[in-house]
Structure 1
Amino acid sequence: MAVLADRLDLLLGAKAATPLAEAFGITTVEDLLRHYPNRYATQGQPLTESDPPDGQHITIVGDIVKADMVKMKNRPGWMLKVVLQSESQKVDATFFNAHKVKHAVQAGRRAMFSGTVKYFRERWSLNHPSYLILPDVADHTAVQIDRVRGGGDLAGIARSALAPGQGVDMSIFDRKLLPVYPATSKIESWDIAHCVRQIFDQLDTVEDPLPSRIRNEHSLIGLDEALHLIHFPESEADVEKARSRLRFDEAAALQLVLAQRRNEMSARAAKSCPPRSDGIAAAFEDRLPFELTEGQHEVADEISADLSQPHPMSRLLQGEVGSGKTVVALRAMLQVVDAGQQCALLAPTEVLAAQHYRSLRAMLGPLGAGGELGAADESTRIVLLTGSMPTAAKRAALLAAVTGDAGIVIGTHALIQDNVEFFDLGMVVVDEQHRFGVEQRDALRSKAKSGFSPHLLVMTATPIPRTIAMTTLGDLETSTLRELPRGRSPIVTSVVPAKDKPAWVDRAWARINEEVAAGRQAYVVCSRIGDEKTGDKEPPTTHSALDMYEELKHGALRGVRVGLLHGRLPTDEKDAVMRGFNDGALDVIVCTTVVEVGVDVPNATVMVIVDADRFGVSQLHQLRGRIGRGGHKGLCILLSEANPVGPAFERLRAVAATNDGFELAVLDLRQRREGDILGAAQSGTVTTLRLLSLLDDLEVISAAQEFAREVVADDPGLERHPGLAAMMRSALDEQRLEYLEKS
């Protein structure tokens, strides 16, 4: 008999086990049984004399009375038009790969069809249904067939029940719910179903790793019952009972990893940085020309308390665009500098790194001019390090970092290079943390002195799906800034259907001219630069920054000073454009998303985003956060040639309807799904979550978190809980475990 920890190659043989391992990393019984069906094929609704509703799934059995090849009108090729006579009525079906099915789907044969009802001109039919050719007997469930002829789910399910030398027992189709598994071209759903059946034939009763107290408290069925019901349910109620239990397992597996991570982090050593009343941080607060918000004070106190501990802080600072995260982060860095240590600020782009450098120098004044004439008695030195800096400047920055002369080192990926060393790195601040991989953050954190880990503060203005997921699951302590500083006005956003309303597009350019005439500035953002090589491909249909710059400079904006900014400009040109815009020498910049984060020009009041449907929800919110940062209202205009009644345009309307970045983050999460929560993927195309939804199952996650932290506090290595350890490993592969150890 078999247990969950047994290897599949020993139970199924290498021929069956190898494709499972190669396609899904499934190597043990538990791995296979936790590869749950993603849906169930059903017998559908029985036909009556009345017509079924559009979109209803039906499964019917009958005699094929007609099967004609018909040439397609609008494209090359043939389709097979079929009529199936069931007990109650005739049903039309169409197969578009006629030459592949005509040998099996022939008049005079008995068949089972399964598909979705589609109406066309008041007649309904099944388009390309799955099908199975049946023995020519009335009671098809009582016989066995030796060869499966058919296509789609029905044929696959029949193949999964094919036993060597015994044929297929067609009674399998008596089941109301037939499992359909996530599959690939190399291992089909029915192959997986066949393996699952073989394993259940050999499986011992599964021991439950969850204590009965937890199961009773949350009304969960046992693991053995849940695994059987998820694969072979008799009803929808069975599916839901199984999913409820297995959903908790999934949450618990993730929470156990995160609880272990938190426990391990608390055991690491970091240099304590308690606040000083006579240091640079206190002097900085005294010279601030504005009052911090209540939220900023609260978050600053949370971070200050963390920095005072002898183990590393690991905190996410999330807040609305313009909520004052940079001031809070600078206050924290100065507390670390007061303790005699250094800080590294990692930014995703050179534009943002340079902006941070200028911004921090401006905010600190003489407090940030360490080593220069006019520096305050209590001061520190701030240096900038980017990959494209002149060699002499780069050497000077490297020297300041390694000697400890620089208290704050700001840079891009250049900070991660092997030749960058710090005298005593005490804190790492990562701005827009989703732009960096774990390996990159880990490389920077490893630059602390041996035996110590630096404190870590990661910041984001609009949490992207993975960020929400990580913080919901409890990987980081979270601080949130929701209120905007005094004097900030809400941004008005309008969506313009550019193809249908060209006059509205003209009005957008006129609006920029009006704002410039009033002494203010504007951005025009494009989705691509325009120097891309297309080769033999069709040229892009979107507007490029290069083309838009030329078009506006000589057209609608010819009376104003227009600059161009994109990521492939030489560094000195980028700096010159940003300085010109900052200083008011330029009225408008046509740019790409290099201005998405961190760029702060209070006089900019208008932003036009061209081809706005090409940007994500969070990205649009980030971009429009660049305007309205002074005393004047901001106006963001989203131009799109997308269908005004399509989903892309509806997404833009949703962005225009709210300035709440957290609400938009949830919208983004619903559209893109959670992403690979414990991996590096940012989109929802890959996910470690099989049954768990971070939006809909927060109560389950919370309960699992409480359980996991209780277990890990008592047994950090799970040595006394081998079942839980195995459950955790089944949810996470080795690559994801390594990811978490680094993060």
Structure 2
Amino acid sequence: MKLTWDSPLSTIGGKKASEVVKETGFETIGDLLGHYPRSYVEKGRLSDLGQLQEGDLLSLVGEIVSSEAKTYQDRRTKRTAYRQEVLVKAEDGNLRMTFFDRAQHTAQWRSKQLAVGRIGMFSGKLKWFNGRWELNNPNSRMYGADDADDAVDAFAKMPELIPIYPVIGKVDSWQLEELIGLALDLVDDVPDPLPDAVRDGRELLTADQAYRWIHRPDDHRQLGAARKRLKYDEAFVTQAVLARRRAEHRAEPATPRPRIVGGLADRFDERLPFELTAGQDRIGDELADELAASHPMHRLLQGEVGSGKTLVALRAMLQVVDAGGQAALLAPTEVLAQQHLRSIRAMLGDLGEGGLLGAAEVSTGVTLLTGSMGTAARRQAMLDAASGEAGIVIGTHALLEEKVQFYDLGLVVVDEQHRFGVEQRAALTSKSGTPPHVLVMTATPIPRTVAMTVFGDLDTSTLSELPAGRGEVQTSVVPVRQQPAWLDRAWSRIREEVAAGRQAYVVCARIGDEPAPEEGPELHAVEDLAPELAAGPLAGLRIEKLHGRMTPDDKDRVMQAFAAGEVDVLVSTTVIEVGVDVPNSTVMVILDAERFGVSQLHQLRGRIGRGGHSGLCLLVTTAAPDSPSLERLTAVASTRDGFELSRIDLEQRREGDVLGVQQSGRRSSLKLLSVLTDEDVIVSARDAATGYLAQDPDLAGAPGLRAAVQAIEDSERADFLDKG
């Protein structure tokens, strides 16, 4: 019986296949063969235990050299229980294992199965116990019959590299290996997504050979060749999808929004009290040219915290307003939307008072629309947007509501794009008769290969320099587990800065009215900490609270008071993470810092040192020495290079999150390709895919590629690529 790539998985393996289908969701032979081994065990070799840590997954093949059955009293049931203590010998070391059973008949069966002289494969998590490494209840697979001669013969017939598959549900590695082996024996049609010319020009394996060698390699050479080919597949297919998307964008019509001499944009530039940085000037010219084109701009603007992205976006918005259109700025929170409103109105002055007495001769209206606004204010904001009275409309998710309409939406600016799902962004761009220009901003720097893979349908601009007058920010880790007295010094530093006329932030991971975490130490909370500080180490200072469950009016009141210098210390959650701009704030204490991600810490730190004064960020943590959490905090303290920190963050979070898992609702399709370490593969695939699509835009000459691209475009992940 020969099967195809698309044959139902249920056609092989009977009940075993049915169980795999139920647990994994795999439906076809192709789904199964696309589940690659996570690692390989060299027959007879034991990993270097000196390089492993407790909890690491270890697999080995070896001979049982001792096996002893023992009884003990179960502490919970007070009944007799059984354990089998086994010593397994590999070529380069021994490892002890313990198997626990409650039933006597199961213990008797296990004692026979784990007899001295048998060869087995064992896989489990390492545990340090009584001064030695061991595995508790590892998954095991025995080879040969009960006698030693059969076991040795079975060992000799084993491949040199044994695949270990990621366990899914109740399906273990051995079941997957067996079913995948059967599928490889039966499948007779493995589609090849690479055009022949692309494959041959890079000396890559055929798809059929690559799948056979990734699952059944005879040696590392075959495994390396298979991985090389399948990595390139992932890169090429993804880049083909993005190349088609870029071509579709270029083919869409858009209303040109050219720069108008003597208009709002020119008047604004004339009034700027400072020089634009070289990056702001260069990117401004790029945006101006693209806004004047007859196809929609799709650009990602990224840059360090405080690099001046909002100013660049505002100049683009004014160009669109000059050309008769409107601009919408979508912000993720009301605090940030309010901040944008205040900063844009402050930068524009009377240029942003269109429709009001005292407005400049050339001016426009700037309005805000959020979900918490009163009925009258909300109705007026919607009227300003629909009539065109407001050239710039700033808002939160409220902008996405169906009843919100625009007179002539020409530019959509999305701030902190990672906070919005694809459907939300599409809802805003659909409010224009012709596709609007789109500018996506992020203050989380993205390494080039990530941007190329994730935002490959967006042109990318990067602001890497900070405007003149920014203060240096020193970051230090405060390990209170080892140095509890250092926390007192942190509060003293706040008092010193306030005495010098500066202001401070104290950041907490919790508000205080939510349940405390069940595991780990209790986290500091805004509602509890603020009064404690006011009665203790920061007594006499003006302290206010800020968090997401306060009413919008209260949040705005607190932020305006802090910005006006009427508050010395703001005790807050991460609601201040983006957009908050108080140049007089110079010190930040982040409590329970190990609970925050690298990029989030970098964003928070960007709230200080925004004036000409130096800043100090203190990362207070109870993380254990040598723990990954403390290593992460040390990395944040060691550099202000956002791109380097982003790389560290992505290495820890892996590519699944990078590719928009939370936005698409699906797991990443990248299984072998790393967007951080395979830059050469991604660059090569991008060039090759773009070149091939230019010759064969419909993929008529590459049916395998067409099917692979269509599968992505039809999936939920295509929504992310399409509307992102």
Structure 1 length as normaliser, TM-score?
0.88
Distance (Å, rounded) in 2 between the aligned partners of 1:52 and 1:35:
28
1:41-60 paired onto structure 2 within 5 Å: 41-45=41-45, 58-60=60-62
Are the structure 2 counterparts of residues 93 and 269 from structure 1 closer, same or farther at C-alpha, using a change threshold of 3 Å? Answer: same
Determine if the alignment matches structure 1 residue 82 to structure 2 residue 92.
no
Q: Is the Cα–Cα contact under 8 Å of residues 3 and 204 in structure 1 kept in the other structure?
A: yes
- The reply to whether residue 300 of structure 1 matches residue 284 of structure 2 is yes
Residues 129-208 of structure 1 aligned to structure 2 (within 5 Å): 129-133=138-142, 134-140=144-150, 174-204=158-188, 206=190, 208=192
Alignment partner of 1:237 out of 218, 221, 228: 221
Structure 2 counterpart of 1:444, from 428, 442, 445: 428
**2:261 counterpart of 1:261:** no
Q: Which residue of 1 aligns with 2:614?
A: 633
Question: Which consecutive unaligned segments of at least 5 residues does structure 1 have?
Answer: 144-169
Cα shift at 1:562: 0.9
Question: Could you state the TM-score of these two structures normalised by the residue count of structure 2?
Answer: 0.91
- 1:8 to partner: Cα distance: 1.8
Maintained 8 Å contact 1:470/1:677: no
- Write out per-residue CA displacement over residues 623-678 of structure 1, whole angstroms, 9 at most, x where no aligned residue: 11011111111111111111133221121111011111111101101111122555
Percent identity reads: 51
Match of 2:111 among 95, 106, 118: 106
| 8 Å Cα contact 1:565-1:589 kept in structure 2 | yes
Please tell me the residue identity of whatever aligns with 2:184. F
1:251 corresponds to: 235
Question: For the structure 1 residues 360 and 258, does the alpha-carbon distance in structure 2 shift closer, same or farther, using more than 3 Å as the test?
Answer: same
In the TM superposition, residue 395 of structure 1 has moved relative to its aligned partner by 0.7
**Match of residue 39 from structure 1:** 39
Instruction: Say whether 1:283 aligns with 2:285.
Output: no
2:69 to 67, 81, 106: 67
1:217 aligned residue: 201
One-letter code aligned to 1:131 = S
Query: Which of residues 569, 593, 598 is equivalent to 2:550?
Result: 569
Deviates more, 1:507-516 or 1:170-179: 170-179
Question: What is the deviation of 1:681?
Answer: 2.1
- Confirm whether residue 513 of structure 1 aligns to residue 519 of structure 2: no
1:106 aligned counterpart, secondary structure: helix
Identify the residue that residue 167 of structure 1 maps to in structure 2: none
Q: CA deviation at 1:304?
A: 1.2
Match in the other structure for 1:7:
7
Does 2:358 correspond to 1:390? no
Contact 2:84/2:107 (8 A) holds in 1: no
Once the two structures are TM-superposed, the CA of residue 173 in structure 1 deviates from its matched residue by 5.6
Distance 1:315-1:346 versus aligned 2 partners, 3 A rule: same
**Displacement of 1:217 after TM fit?**
3.4
Judge which range, 260-269 or 429-438, deviates more. 260-269
1:556 aligns with 2:544: no
SS at match of 1:97: strand
Please name the residue that 2:648 is paired with: 667
Match of 1:159 in 2: none
For residues 74-106 of structure 1, what are the alpha-carbon distances to aligned partners after superposition, in whole Å with 9 as ceiling and x for unaligned?
A: 998856242458799996733252336523222
C-alpha distance in structure 2 between counterparts of 1:85 and 1:708, whole Å: 50
Corresponding letter in the other structure for 1:8: P
Secondary structure (helix, strand or coil) at the match of 1:505 reads helix
Given that 1:382 and 1:406 are in contact with CA atoms closer than 8 Å, whether structure 2 keeps it comes out as: yes
1:155-199: CA deviation from partner (whole Å, max 9, x where unpaired): xxxxxxxxxxxxxxx579611222232342244433333332333
- The SS at the match of 1:229 is helix
Cα contact 1:565–1:577 (8 A) shared by 2:
yes
The correspondence for 2:476, drawn from 463, 469, 494, is 494
Report the secondary structure of 2:148's partner residue: coil
Residue type of the partner of 2:108? H
Instruction: Return the alpha-carbon distance in structure 2 between the equivalents of residues 648 and 500 of structure 1.
Output: 15
The equivalent of 1:158 in structure 2 is: none
**Equivalent residue number for residue 364 of structure 1:** 348
1:694 aligned to 2:675? yes
Q: 1:118 touches 1:124 (CA, 8 Å); kept in 2?
A: yes
Query: 1:10/1:27 Cα in 2 relative to 1: closer, same or farther (>3 Å)?
Result: same
- Partner amino acid for 2:266? A
After the TM superposition, which of the residue ranges 358-367 and 201-210 deviates more from structure 2? 201-210
Q: Bigger shift: 546-555 or 84-93? A: 84-93
SS at match of 1:272: coil
Q: Specify the code of the residue in structure 2 equivalent to 1:215.
A: R
Over 3 Å counting, the alpha-carbon distance change for 1:658 and 1:436 in structure 2 is same
Moved more, 643-652 or 407-416: 643-652
* CA pair 74-492 structure 1, distance change in 2 beyond 3 A: farther
Which of 419, 438, 446 is 1:435 aligned to?
419
- What is the aligned residue count? 711
Distance 2:621 2:664 in 1: 23
Contact persistence 1:617–1:655 (CA under 8 A): yes
1:673 is paired with a residue whose SS is helix
Where 1:523 maps in the other structure, the secondary structure is strand
Structure 1: distance between partners of 2:674 and 2:416: 25
- Cα drift, residue 72 of structure 1: 7.5
Query: How many Å separate the matches in 1 of 2:435 and 2:320?
Result: 13
In structure 1, C-alpha distance between the alignment counterparts of 2:648 and 2:89, rounded to whole Å: 45
Q: CA deviation at 1:11?
A: 4.0
**Whole-Å separation in 2 of the counterparts to 1:85 and 1:260:** 55
Three-state SS of the structure 2 residue aligned to 1:179 is strand
2: CA distance between counterparts of 1:429 and 1:568?
26
In 2 relative to 1, CA 683–320 (structure 1 residues): closer, same or farther, beyond 3 Å?
Answer: farther
Match of 2:508 among 516, 526, 530: 526
Matches within 5 A, 1:312-323: 312-323=296-307
Q: Which of these residues, 546, 558, 572, is aligned with residue 591 of structure 1?
A: 572
**Worse-matched range after superposition: 728-737 or 367-376:** 728-737
SS at match of 2:460: strand
Query: C-alpha deviations, 1:6-45, integer Å up to 9, x for none?
Result: 3225743886666555555533333332222222244232
